[in-house]
Homo-oligomer: A and B are copies of this chain.
Amino acid sequence: MTDTDHILSPHATSLSREAGSSLVEQIVQSIASRIDDRLLRTGTRLPSIRQFADQHRVSRFTVVEAYDRLVAQGFLESRRGSGFYVRDRAPMQAPQARHAKQAGSAAPQIDVVWLVRNMFRQMPSQKVPGSGLLPAEWLDSELITSAMRSIGRQNQSALLHYGNPQGFLPLRQQLRLKLAELEIAAMPEQFVTTCGVTQALDVVARHFTQPGDTIFVDDPAWYLMFASFSMLGIKVVGIPRLPDGPDIGKLAELAAVHKPRLFVINSVLHNPTSTSLSAAKAFQVLKIAEQHDFMIVEDDIYCDMHPGTAVQPATRIAALDQLNRVIYLGGFSKTLAASLRVGFIAAPHDIALHLADRKMMTSLTTNELAERIVYRILSEGHYRKHVDRLRGKLDDVREKNVRQLERIGIRINVATPAGMFVWADVGCDSNVLTEKAMAEGWLLAPGSLFSPKQLPTTDMRFNVAAMADPGLIRFLEREIR
């Protein structure tokens, strides 16, 4: 008899073969909760595997598995030749951080890091109209899990290698087809997969610039870039964005002054305005890039949400230039799942090789399992239907939400709203409005975030897929009058 018999007797620990969880899980749960409740104390020896199995009429294998999990989870420890013991789980003292900041010394400041951190707080989607993602309930987890199942059945040992630093080859072949549809010719060896467009931008910026160099961005533009480039010692200069593309006069003027290395641009469904480049603007931007010898980085992450050129004209610079002076970026974080972290670069072949080397230096390879998942979804033809569905849903909610914003006096800044964002003028300092919203549990995205100089503005970006809660419109109506 061990000293735990009275607690772990078959009567106290009722195992059921009918319950939803397995016998192993039931044993783990039962012992873990007794340890948590201090019914089993540190140092207590558990019944031997044989004793436990006999008493509870389960197989020894089941008990071995359960004890192993409890060891792995830190509840038990195994002492060689002696048995299993309840382990010391007194909370460990975390060492005092050397340069710890004063906690609560200042109100949270609205800046890029603030918004990005909040983006990850996993608030319900109707509470985050400032989010840059579609709500999880809009996406299709079955696409991903069914791809996982196929991969699990077929390519088991392939998962054990490092993978190819340029990315999983069949995926790059699919990407080639995807680009061909956009009239961009690229061979598989011109692609490099990345951990989202974020890593793509980091790798490209590090390849083309030295500290002190200048990168042009749209103004407004995706805020994370500003911090990311500044961290590299790069000067970020914004080019005013008009409804059909950059202000060409300004671009030419600033290019002569700053001699930028790169111009990072969203040609299609620009974040945050959801406008696209006209053919004429695409041509002019390319001409100026040639004249002043800078590369264009065309970030096309919103590609698959574009409603078609009949609804909103859109020209990709890469379609004109064919990856000579243009480096094209894309990914699947917006349409499949952000946590897969599958993005890609398409570039001139020699540059692609350099970028792959640079990727190796910073992360070796990217996760091949995720690349195989995306490959399956693309190659089995499910992706197209899925994005068609997303576009349809976006059209439905956009119309309704635009009407509601207009009704309460918020002016929409673009003539033909498209994609997932509406860029609107709330008529008051959008930083102040964001702070008030935060106090009531809403995460908004004020225009200042998207300004390369972080200037306050009355503009604000709304995610039309994340405005389902009617309380939002009531809040806005009350606050902006």
Contact = CB atoms under 8 A, between A and B. Distances in A.
A339 B195 contact: no
A291 interface: no
A392 to B, nearest CB: 15
A119 to B, nearest CB: 7
A350 interface: yes
Contact of A365 (B151, B338, B369): B338
Given A101-B350, A136-B161, A340 B367 contact: yes
Contacts of A119: 162
A139 B190 CA distance: 32
Interface stretch (A3-11, A140-148, A452-460): A140-148
Given A162-B338, A363-B195, A98 B325 contact: yes
Nearest to A322: B95
A381 B339 contact: no
Contacts of A100: 348-350
Contacts of A73: 174, 177, 379, 381
A228 B116 CA distance: 27
Contacts of A82: none
Interface string A122-145: 100000000001001101011011
A187 to B, nearest CB: 4
Contact of A65 (B151, B323, B367, B381): B381
A196 interface: yes
A379 B162 CA distance: 24
A384 B71 contact: yes
Interface stretch (A198-206, A281-289, A469-477): A198-206
A122 to B, nearest CB: 6
A156 interface: yes
A72 to B, nearest CB: 4
Interface stretch (A251-259, A353-361, A440-448): A353-361
The A contact surface, by secondary structure, is helix
Interface in A398-449: none
Oligomeric state, in number of copies?
A: 2
Interface in A314-337: 322-325, 333, 337
A182 interface: no
A195 B322 CA distance: 32
Contacts of A365: 120, 338-339, 341
Given A69-B379, A380-B72, A163 B120 contact: yes
Given A69-B381, A141-B156, A97 B350 contact: yes
A398 to B, nearest CB: 21
A362 B74 contact: no
Contact of A228 (B186, B333, B348, B361): B361
A74 B341 contact: no
Contacts of A364: 116, 195-196, 198, 224, 338, 341
A180 interface: yes
A179 to B, nearest CB: 9
21 contacts: A69-B381, A70-B381, A72-B378, A73-B177, A74-B180, A94-B185, A97-B348, A100-B348, A116-B360, A120-B365, A142-B156, A148-B148, A160-B337, A160-B338, A161-B339, A162-B338, A227-B361, A338-B365, A339-B367, A367-B370, A369-B369
Interface of A: 65, 68-74, 92-101, 113, 116-117, 119-120, 122, 133, 136-137, 139, 141-142, 144-145, 148-149, 151-152, 156-157, 159-165, 174, 176-177, 180, 185-187, 190, 195-196, 198-199, 202, 206, 211, 224, 227-228, 231, 233, 322-325, 333, 337-341, 348-351, 357-358, 360-370, 378-385
